[in-house]
Amino acid sequence: MAKEIKFSLVYRDMWQSSGKYQPRVDQLEKIAPVIIAMGCFDRIETNGGAFEQVNLMYGENPNKAVRAWTKPFNQAGIQTHMLERALNGLRMYGVPADVRRLMPKVKKAQGVDIMRSFCGLNDPRNLELSVVAAKEAGMISQAALSITHSPIHTVEYYMGIVDRLVEFGADEICLKDMAGVGRPATLGRLVKEIKTKHPHIVVQYHGHTGPGLSMASTLMVAQAGADVIDCAMEPLSWGMVHPDVISVQAMLKDAGFQVKDINMDAYMEARKLTQEFIDDFLGLYIDPGNRISTSLLVGCGLPGGMMGSMMSDLKGVHGAINMALKKSGKPEMSFEELTVQLFQEVEHIWPLLGYPPLVTPFSQYTKNIAVMNLLSMAQGKPRFSQIDKDSWSMILGRAGKLPGPLAPEIVELAKSQGMEFYTGIPQEAYPDALPEYIKEMEQNGWDRGQDDEELFELAMHDRQYRDYKSGLAKERFHKEVEKLRIEKGGKAQAEAPSGEGALNYISQKYPDATPLVATATGRLLWEVRFDDTSTPPAPGTEVKEGAAVANIESSYAIVPLAALKGGKVIDTCAKQGQMVKKGDVVGWIA
């Protein structure tokens, strides 16, 4: 009898890889029965990762959203799965152990069947708590391998991790090929090894289509014994996202596998609804470039899910780099030339940084270092002149053990700055925190929620949760959408001068000026006070090189904005509390 291959619709990741936001709960409830009617999915990815942060950011209760979204699939017998980042939980930085243990209890009660857990560094120490806690909560534990391609990331390397995950009690293994750079034959050998050594383990393959290898990989892993394949659907399939279920089903059926038929009427209806959601407001945040695949990703290994933010970063620093090149008498670069140079820079520094798999958040850290290297080199400074604190955390081992050795120059740089390498267990750096959050809820008169779900949300996303409770998040989101609609419609320009026009103006008036560049996307908070009373530094204010003149409240952390050189502030172009994008120029120093 032919082997059956099941399909999972990665509806959350489809949006994550395309733009910034996910559909609202009313939209999710509208499309759920149509997805069920398609008849081809045994699983659907419903939540996790950025999903619940996004709910909070536009003033929607994430717990109500997850319960409403999973309910129809539970009733239809379709398994639901979530994505979490082990040590980092549902955010971009470390989570206390008691909060991590609470998460699967809450998610199981909300109707989520499977907890897919990955560590971006493939450090089993970070994954053990996820596996154990998921099992204790009655969930299926699916432990993920962050797939990449390097001299270190061999089948033997991954099997060493698989053995530990099975020892912890994992029920399933996911090959999380987040950049789609896993080589098909190697992935096939890996699946065969898993199935030979651990035949009871279910294997699921998740491959993005960015560099174009994932369809071949899908066929190879299926022939090697994989059980479930992650798929997308139009109008968000392909490009930087995932293969479309229609193509995957046709390919596997022709190869002799047993696969479910697709109700095409329902498929077209789901396609239509998804487009409606894009036309409503979600399309405002989708970069058209994410619809395009590129073989350049084979070399740098950057994941599809961060292409939108990376392009935004590059656009932000493009003018600053060209201004620096112009000052030194060098030819300016087009945006396309800069993009290729960034890919090459990532490829160059990746081995020097110990080959961290380029998945959230380590893809962002590596990309951040590469972007700042391009700016530093354009200004005549050496590589690694500017490394943010989160990237240092990765380098120093606070997030887990890097797969490979650091280059001697990186080690020496750390020592020269008085930094110490961390060799302990990463989780131990994050003490239990639930008692403090319980105290805060009691003081505010906030209900802990059904199955402690509101307590969990505060503990996992405390800043965003507070803004949600105050109504500030919803107000900010509506203003953001309205501004984007105006800008995209060509009826008005941005609130503050930015981009190349502003840079040209300043460069003519102050030829020696150095821009203050936003180090993250989020809310700008001048100075170091975290309220709306702080004001931009007045012209003439003395600033020391490397000093933090502002902070940016991003979706994952408070990120300092440091001066790239010492001098006096000559102008600022962003207000206190204004939303800025990473790479935006917010002021100048000369």
Given a cut of 70, whether residue 508 has pLDDT beyond it is: no
**CATH number for the domain including 544?**
2.40.50.100
The 3 state secondary structure assigned to 283-312 is HHHCCHHHHCCCCCHHHHCCCHHHHHHHHH
Positive or negative, the Cα torsion across 44, 47, 48, 54? positive
Each residue of 63-117: pLDDT tens digit? 999 999 999 999 999 999 999 999 999 998 899 999 999 999 999 999 999 999 9
Given a cut of 70, whether residue 366 has pLDDT beyond it is: yes
Beta bridge partner(s), residue 229: 7, 205
In a domain, 100, yes or no: no
Each residue of 151-163: pLDDT tens digit? 999 999 999 999 9
In a domain, 198, yes or no: no
Q: How far apart are CA 225 and CA 203, in angstroms?
A: 8
End residue of a domain, out of 226, 254, 288:
288
| Claim to verify: residue 16 and residue 59 sit in the same structural domain | yes
Token digits of residue 572: 């600022």
Cβ within 8 Å of residue 534, ≥6 positions away = 525, 526, 527, 576
Per-residue pLDDT, 1: 83
In a domain, 530, yes or no: yes
Mean pLDDT calculated for residue range 423-446: 96
In a domain, 329, yes or no: yes
Q: Which range is most confident: 166-170, 396-400, 535-539?
A: 166-170
| Claim to verify: residue 305 and residue 398 sit in the same structural domain | yes
Each residue of 387-431: pLDDT tens digit? 988 899 999 999 999 999 999 999 999 999 999 999 999 999 999
| Claim to verify: residue 538 and residue 416 sit in the same structural domain | no
How many structural domains are present in the chain? Answer: 3
The 3 state secondary structure assigned to 172-210 is EEEEEECCCCCCHHHHHHHHHHHHHHCCCCEEEEEECCC
Q: Are 582 and 553 in contact (CB under 8 A)?
A: no
Per-residue pLDDT, 557: 58
End residue of a domain, out of 385, 402, 429:
429
In three-state secondary structure terms, 554 is: strand
| Claim to verify: residue 413 and residue 318 sit in the same structural domain | yes
Per-residue pLDDT, 16: 87
CA proximity to 458, closest of 25, 95, 71, 111: 95
Token digits of residue 447: 């209900």
498 pLDDT band (50/70/90 cuts)? very low
Q: Are 238 and 289 in contact (CB under 8 A)?
A: no
| Claim to verify: residue 367 and residue 255 sit in the same structural domain | no
| Claim to verify: residue 576 and residue 560 sit in the same structural domain | yes
In a domain, 68, yes or no: yes
Q: Are 243 and 251 in contact (CB under 8 A)?
A: no
Given a cut of 50, whether residue 492 has pLDDT beyond it is: no
Using a pLDDT cut of 70, give the percent of the chain over it. 92
End-to-end distance of the chain based on CA atoms, in angstroms?
74
Using a pLDDT cut of 90, give the percent of the chain over it. 62
Q: Are 321 and 338 in contact (CB under 8 A)?
A: yes
506 pLDDT band (50/70/90 cuts)? low
Mean pLDDT, the chain, integer: 89
Q: What is the DSSP string of 464-490?
A: HHHHHHHTHHHHHHHHHHHHHHHHHHT
Per-residue pLDDT, 505: 52
| Claim to verify: residue 279 and residue 389 sit in the same structural domain | no
Mean pLDDT calculated for residue range 484-500: 49
| Claim to verify: residue 324 and residue 388 sit in the same structural domain | yes
Each residue of 302-321: pLDDT tens digit? 776 666 567 767 777 888 88
| Claim to verify: residue 280 and residue 343 sit in the same structural domain | no
Asked which of 40-44, 193-197, 509-513, 527-531 is least confident by mean pLDDT, the reply is 527-531
| Claim to verify: residue 253 and residue 355 sit in the same structural domain | no
Of the two residues 501 and 290, the one the predictor is more confident about is 290
| Claim to verify: residue 388 and residue 405 sit in the same structural domain | yes
527 pLDDT band (50/70/90 cuts)? low
Question: What is the extent of the structural domain holding 278?
Answer: 1-83+244-288
End residue of a domain, out of 404, 429, 454:
429
Given a cut of 80, whether residue 511 has pLDDT beyond it is: no
In a domain, 96, yes or no: no
In a domain, 360, yes or no: yes
Per-residue pLDDT, 126: 97
In a domain, 230, yes or no: no
Given a cut of 70, whether residue 499 has pLDDT beyond it is: no
| Claim to verify: residue 409 and residue 519 sit in the same structural domain | no
CA 553 to chain centre: 16
